[in-house]
Each structure stands twice: as C-alpha cells, then as structure tokens.
Amino acid sequence: MRAVVQRVSEASVRVGEEVVGAIGRGLLVLLGVEDSDTDRDAQYIAEKVVGLRIFNDDAGKFNRSLEEVEGSVLVISQFTLHGDCRKGRRPSFIQAARPETAVPLYEAVVRGIRERGFTVATGEFGAHMMVHLVNDGPVTLLLDSRKLF
C-alpha cells in the first residue's frame, strides 16, 4: 500500500459540482492499494499517518503530530500510485488492486484513522475527482507499507 501524505492548511474534493469531502488544517492522504495488500498494510498506513510528527512546534521544527494540532484527514483513493512507468510511454497498472480488493482496504485505512479519534473526510472511490489543496510548507511525504522507500 502506498500513500502520498501532504500537510495542508485546507483541502477538499469534488465529484462533479458537489464537494464530497473537505478539511481544514491537517493531512491529505492519496492512497493506492496494491493487489497483494492485506489488513496489516492498512493498519500500518493508518498508524503511520496519525503518528507522523510533521507539524511545526514553536521553534519551527517538525515536532507536532496531527493530534497535537487538532488536525483532520482527507483520504482519497488513487490507484495510479501503483502505476509502473519503467517500460514504454503508458503506465501499467497491473499491480493496482481491483475494486473488490481495494475498497475494503481503503475503508480499513479510513476506519483505522477514525478509530484513533480523528475526523476523516473522503473522496468517492472510483469516481473522477477534482482535488483542491493548499499544501502547507510544502510538506509532502511518501509512505509504503512494504517499506520500499
């Protein structure tokens, strides 16, 4: 499972003309599920997201967590995180999980974050979404449950 985590001052996602998810200060998580992922991968990502100390303290150092800044999380599914661009010009998505596998694991990540006491907004799985964010910093981190990077 892969995630792109961005520290934001605000973020929202629209499907068509409707805003389906929005947060203020917190984290935008773009989440890609791989075909071999399990609940263990989902729990790893949920734990890592809420535990990251990537908010500034009074000295400007990355010392505060999502909890300490009373932040929220916007989680958006993004199968393209498993796009393989090593050959040719068109990415291969063969390792991206099919919806019947990906949806329950995506929901497990969302549930895992909520169970830790955080407000979580979401996009709409499989929909064409328009994501608006104000990246604070900018701060963008990559997570991989297999710790490939």
Catalogue the active-site residues: 78-80
Which stretches of 19-98 are DSSP H helices?
Answer: 39-51
Cβ-count burial 24-60 (b if 16+ within 10 Å, e if not): ebbbbbbbbbbeebeeebbbbbbebbbebebbbeeee
